[in-house]
Structure 1
Amino acid sequence: MPGGADYRRVMETRELRYFIAVAEELHFGRAARRLGMAQPPLSRAIGRLERRLGATLLQRTSRSVALTEAGAVLLREGRAALEAIEAAERRTRRVALAATGHARVVLVTKAGASSELLAELLDAHAAEPGAATVDVLLCGIGEQGRLLRDGRADVALLHRPYDVMAGLDTEDLRTEGQVLVLPAGHPLTSRPHVRLAEATELPGLPGPRWPGPDGRYPDGPGPEVHDQAQLFQLIALGRTSAVLPDSCRSQLHGDLAAVPVLDAPAVTTVIAWPPHSRSAAVAGLVRTATRL
């Protein structure tokens, strides 16, 4: 049957998982152990995939395995495809749960960020009739977008201009200035304000290094920082300083001080969600957020 022939030309998710394991390990034995299978059937499966695609995906010798150009394309596209499938599975399960009267929304935010706004949002939403339960997922710097896209979160609090919002629907919630957070007793804490150039070039207090989208830290003299709690501890120890949204003042203790930065860009907190979301629970949370 023509339909049967077409079906045989379609890659299965199982084959993609096999190929990605080999492409990441560049070793059939390690990939087989990772997948919990024997090596011969894994090798045969990759061979069938190459024949079906009409492309050599891996260059094999007795000593090494290397990706071809076609293999690199399939690795990149295959990862994206599997992530999309896994995201669809997670969202479908949550929708099915909502249909039973147990609607839940997963909201992701950076640990320690927008804590006052988050508390206001959760309290206001809980007071709404029939409101869905909101599970809060705390993450590291720059991870919210990935967690939204892979389906582990339904909605996120992001901060413009620092977070990437491409491909997401957003609503602005609050805009604020920024302050320089310093160890208490630093000479600048007696000033009514500072300029951004001063705040970013403090002798003895190199700026913190945040991870990039790939999870790697840029080179530099400042300490590597994972989240805001760790950052505050490092500032109190005199290892670094940081320019942060003004709302961080509510989390500062006696060993930290904040000085307004006059010419720092304003920071806008936004609520974001995937554009294809049709969740009534997500829509309800967004409506509550925009009313705050």
Structure 2
Amino acid sequence: MDDVETRELRYFLAVAEERHFGRAALRLGMAQPPLSRAIRQLEARIGVQLFDRDRRGVRLTPAGEVLLRDAPAALDSVRAAVRRARRAGAPERRLVLATKAGSSHAFLQSLLDTHQAAVDAGVPDAVPIDVELCEIGEQAGLLLDGTADVAVMHRPFDDFTGIESVDLHSEPQVAIVPSSHPLAARRSLTMAEVSSVPDLPIARWPLADWSYPPGPGPEVHSQSQLAQLVALGRTLLVIPRSSRAWQWPEHSAVPVLDAPIATTVLGWPEGRRTPEVDQLVATALRIEDDSEAATA
């Protein structure tokens, strides 16, 4: 069997998703006859029929269903490999570190400053860092698609499928509430209390598959949206204590005594712990060791 080309997989996905050669050709910006020929060539390469064709359109065969399930991941892997290769071949080697905006600010500042000092001192495998700020839950995707090399992530909130990681530190969580709300005057809260405030439903964060859990609270898509909804008295949220860096003056933070412990970690794609990532991990662990010694 000849090797399948990525172009053929893209053509296949367009037809499989549109269920129509004409619409797929329009989506791809090409004429229908070359698209039909490309699909026949793909079927010949694989040695199976991928579509049942009739005058009303096309239907996937069982073989086509399997390819539809697996092809997107294959194309994503190729794109990720290309992105990583481009960075590796750049005149100056750099690491891209992804982190949720406003998250673990004090730790991140210390990490960047300490690591840059190692770069300036010429420490082997210490390379400059570019920071890729992202929204809620996007770190894993940026790692897996090759956009980032390493990411600051948090258990138990982020998706770690396909990600290796090292734990750095754990901390309690706080509720961020409007400063004008009666909850702001409390010394502490419980999860039962923050989950049952009639006029202040807890914000709903996206799950790993980007769906949202049921509930009356608003679906949040970005940190800025979330901050404004809290300030307007429309929602509250529970976050790691160190994430208070992005608080607005209209916010108050109240400890939540029984909230799950949040653990900050450094993550990278499975099997891709390079010497440069190793150096950054060593720096992060040294910062944590120094911090623990200072508070002991």
TM-score normalised by length of structure 2: 0.89
In 1, the alpha carbon distance for the partners of 2:12 and 2:272 equals 30
Aligned to 2:238: 243
Aligned to 1:125: 115
Counterpart selection for 1:182 from 177, 193, 197: 177
Counterpart selection for 1:279 from 260, 274, 279: 274
Counterpart selection for 2:52 from 55, 59, 65: 59
Q: Is the 8 A contact 2:51 2:60 kept in 1?
A: yes
Number of residues of Structure 1 aligned to a counterpart in Structure 2: 282
Q: How does 1:8-23 map to 2 (within 5 A)?
A: 8=2, 10-23=3-16
1:149 aligned partner, one-letter code: L
The answer as to 2:208 corresponding to 1:216 is: no
Counterpart selection for 1:47 from 26, 40, 44: 40
Poorly superposed stretches of 4+, deviation over 3 Å: 216-220
User: Compared with structure 1, are the counterparts of its residues 64 and 213 closer, same or farther at alpha carbon in structure 2 (3 Å cutoff)?
Assistant: farther
Alpha-carbon shift at residue 276 of structure 1 (Å): 1.9
Aligned to 1:3: none
1:230 aligned partner, one-letter code: Q
Alpha-carbon shift at residue 245 of structure 1 (Å): 0.7
The answer as to 2:68 corresponding to 1:75 is: yes
Counterpart selection for 1:110 from 100, 103, 115: 100
1:188 aligned partner, one-letter code: L
User: Helix, strand or coil for the counterpart of 1:127?
Assistant: helix
Alpha-carbon shift at residue 60 of structure 1 (Å): 2.6
In 1, the alpha carbon distance for the partners of 2:19 and 2:233 equals 44
Deviations 1:234-290 (A, max 9, x none): 011011011111112233232111111111111000000123225332222222112
User: Helix, strand or coil for the counterpart of 1:188?
Assistant: helix
RMSD (CA atoms): 1.8
The answer as to 2:31 corresponding to 1:35 is: no
In 2, the alpha carbon distance for the partners of 1:142 and 1:125 equals 25
User: Helix, strand or coil for the counterpart of 2:278?
Assistant: helix
Identity of counterpart residues, as a percentage? 55
Aligned to 2:187: 192
User: Helix, strand or coil for the counterpart of 2:257?
Assistant: coil
Deviations 1:175-197 (A, max 9, x none): 11001111112112222111111
TM-score normalised by length of structure 1: 0.90
1:186 aligned partner, one-letter code: H
Alpha-carbon shift at residue 25 of structure 1 (Å): 2.5
Alpha-carbon shift at residue 171 of structure 1 (Å): 1.1
Deviations 1:15-69 (A, max 9, x none): 1121112222222223223333221011111122223333332233322333333
In 2, the alpha carbon distance for the partners of 1:30 and 1:108 equals 37
Counterpart selection for 2:163 from 168, 193, 197: 168
In 2, the alpha carbon distance for the partners of 1:228 and 1:34 equals 34
In 2, the alpha carbon distance for the partners of 1:72 and 1:124 equals 50
Aligned to 1:87: 80
Which deviates further from its counterpart, 67-76 or 208-217? 208-217
User: Compared with structure 1, are the counterparts of its residues 278 and 193 closer, same or farther at alpha carbon in structure 2 (3 Å cutoff)?
Assistant: closer
Q: Is the 8 A contact 1:110 1:227 kept in 2?
A: no
Unaligned runs of 5+ in 2: 288-296
User: Helix, strand or coil for the counterpart of 1:208?
Assistant: coil
2:164 aligned partner, one-letter code: D
